[in-house]
């Protein structure tokens, strides 16, 4: 228990100041801090293995540099660190309540054990990052390590390993689960903030609808939130990113938090890298005229760089036999069937909700705020499912076994996006017409 609390506190503390500087308010910074802390720990983990230096000094140096830069930015901008500031037009106590409700599904961490793959793939590699330096490099390159997929993206094992090393390396499985749960909570909080951003600023119904939506989105399987796997994290982060980036946004500042979420998705799993890349390309296309926003393209480049670095350290993967007796078409057909079987209960109401918003002219005008969000969510569904079906169709494993052991977790992003469609339509339907909320300058209570 102490290992878990220590790991979460270190993650939060490391990311807090940079998160406040990036999001420009303390309460939103609290929500994003674990993701930022996870990204800083990832940079530290990679730097440690690449340079041969121990992980804790690397982490300390990176946190100090990021914190000092953030502090200068906070002072220059005059960002308020007082809790009385409103968040997106809502009082801080309401947002704290939302944060507490979002933690409810994660209470399962107290009972869920670490999963099979979570242990052999993610937590096992976290021990290498906790060791750091040349010994970690040896572990990555050892042929007997091939089962642990050393070439997979670094965020989860690096964050868990570096944070665990910082807390004195207690039980690493427990630290890994706690870090994963904190990152998932943060991704859920970002998703909730992005759903709220769909509505009119300050509209009272949106925090409640957004919170209910995020809670509903976790119905893909609450155990997966806290069993140490990477799938829930990248999926929720990718949906938050898609919802924030694939809509027209007035201010460049609106892109910062979803861009962070996108980076987390891409650095967490290969599926996240593929989905995040499609989202970024779509976002640049949507914001094509704003050339100053093309910096988004740096996200997949940086993530692919991290993935290539991991690959360069990893031992050659064991050869995997191809099953030539199945055609690509047969495999794709089986994959589509299995994906639909997982998604059908949320896809049906999401399709009805989308049809209402997009095809009924009166509703399209009245629920204008939902139109862009619904299209963005469908963008995420496509961005996550196309690479997935392609992988199942062209991949090496026997397709029935592969689908049976993975399809319920590889489709989480699409599942969450479909639930969010229902949520934004519910939110738009409840939003009462009224004057726009006051601007940020008059929001300090």
Write out the residues near other proteins by the rule CB under 8 A: 104-105, 107-108, 111-116, 120, 144, 147, 209, 212-213, 215-219, 221-223, 318-321, 323, 346, 349, 353, 397-398, 400-401, 404-405, 419, 422-423, 425-426, 429-430
Q: Which DSSP helix (H) or strand (E) runs through 377? A: helix 368-394
Q: Which is nearer to other proteins, 111 or 329 (CB)?
A: 111
Whether residue 19 contacts residue 66, with contact meaning beta carbons closer than 8 Å, is answered with: no
Minimum separation from the CB atom of position 211 to other proteins (A): 9
Whether residue 115 contacts residue 228, with contact meaning beta carbons closer than 8 Å, is answered with: yes
Minimum separation from the CB atom of position 249 to other proteins (A): 24
Angle, vertex CA 191, rays to CA 357 and CA 225, nearest 5: 120
Question: Residue 311's CB: how many other CB atoms inside 10 A?
Answer: 13
Minimum separation from the CB atom of position 146 to other proteins (A): 8
Minimum separation from the CB atom of position 291 to other proteins (A): 38
Torsion angle (degrees, nearest 10) of CA 160, 162, 165, 170:
0
Burial of residue 97, with CB atoms counted within 10 A of its CB: 0-12 exposed, 13-18 middle, 19 or more buried: middle
**Burial state string for 338-371 with b = 16 or more CB within 10 A and e = fewer than 16:** bbeebbeebbeebeebbebbbeeeebeeebebbb
Helix (H, G, I), strand (E, B) or coil at 311: helix
Q: Which is nearer to other proteins, 23 or 119 (CB)?
A: 119
Minimum separation from the CB atom of position 401 to other proteins (A): 6
Beta bridge mates, 87: 90
Q: What is the CA radius of gyration of the chain?
A: 21
Q: Which is nearer to other proteins, 115 or 443 (CB)?
A: 115
CA-nearest of 429, 374, 378 to 195 is: 374
Minimum separation from the CB atom of position 111 to other proteins (A): 5
Q: Which is nearer to other proteins, 2 or 104 (CB)?
A: 104
Q: Which is nearer to other proteins, 147 or 340 (CB)?
A: 147
Q: For residue 224, what are its two tokens?
A: 């997966």
Minimum separation from the CB atom of position 232 to other proteins (A): 12
Calpha distance 138→127 (Å, rounded):
13
Minimum separation from the CB atom of position 65 to other proteins (A): 39
Q: Scanning the structure block, which residue is given the tokens 């796997």? A: 229
Q: Scanning the structure block, which residue is given the tokens 């910074």? A: 29
């Amino acid at each position: 228990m102490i290992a878990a609390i220590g790991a979460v506190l270190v993650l939060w503390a490391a990311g807090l100041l940079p998160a406040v500087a990036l999001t420009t308010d303390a309460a939103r910074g609290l929500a994003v801090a674990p993701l930022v802390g996870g990204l800083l720990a990832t940079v530290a983990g990679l730097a440690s293995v690449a340079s041969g230096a121990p992980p804790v000094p690397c982490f300390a140096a990176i946190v100090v540099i990021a914190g000092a830069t953030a502090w200068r930015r906070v002072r220059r901008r005059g960002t308020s660190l007082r809790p009385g500031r409103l968040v997106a037009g809502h009082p801080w106590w309401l947002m704290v309540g939302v944060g507490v409700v979002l933690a409810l599904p994660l209470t399962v961490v107290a009972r869920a054990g670490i999963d099979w793959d979570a242990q052999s793939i993610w937590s096992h590699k976290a021990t290498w990052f906790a060791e750091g330096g040349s010994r970690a490099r040896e572990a990555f390159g050892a042929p007997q390590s091939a089962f642990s997929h050393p070439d997979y993206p670094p965020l989860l094992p690096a964050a868990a390993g570096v944070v665990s090393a910082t807390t004195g390396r207690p039980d690493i499985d427990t630290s890994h689960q706690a870090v994963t749960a904190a990152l998932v909570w943060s991704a859920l909080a970002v998703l909730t903030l992005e759903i709220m951003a769909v509505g009119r600023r300050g509209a009272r119904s949106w925090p409640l609808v957004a919170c209910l939506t995020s809670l509903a989105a976790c119905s893909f399987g609450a155990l997966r939130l806290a069993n140490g796997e990477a799938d829930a994290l990248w999926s929720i982060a990718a949906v938050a990113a898609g919802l924030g980036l694939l809509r027209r946004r007035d201010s460049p500042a609106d892109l910062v938090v979803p861009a962070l979420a996108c980076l987390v998705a891409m650095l967490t799993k290969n599926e996240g890298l593929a989905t995040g890349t499609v989202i970024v390309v779509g976002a640049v296309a949507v914001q094509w005229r704003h050339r100053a926003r093309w910096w988004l393209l740096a996200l997949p480049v940086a993530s692919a760089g991290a993935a290539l670095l991991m690959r360069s350290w990893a031992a050659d993967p064991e050869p995997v036999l191809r099953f030539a007796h199945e055609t690509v078409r047969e495999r794709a057909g089986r994959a589509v069937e299995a994906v639909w079987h997982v998604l059908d209960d949320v896809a049906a109401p999401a399709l009805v909700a989308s049809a209402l918003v997009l095809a009924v002219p009166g509703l399209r005008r009245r629920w204008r705020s939902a139109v862009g969000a619904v299209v963005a969510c469908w963008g995420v569904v496509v961005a996550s499912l196309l690479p997935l079906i392609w992988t199942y169709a062209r991949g090496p494993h026997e397709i029935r076994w592969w689908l049976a052991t993975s399809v319920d977790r590889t489709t989480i992003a699409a599942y969450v996006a479909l639930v969010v469609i229902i949520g934004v339509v519910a939110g738009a339907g409840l939003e009462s017409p009224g004057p726009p909320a006051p601007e940020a300058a008059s929001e300090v209570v």
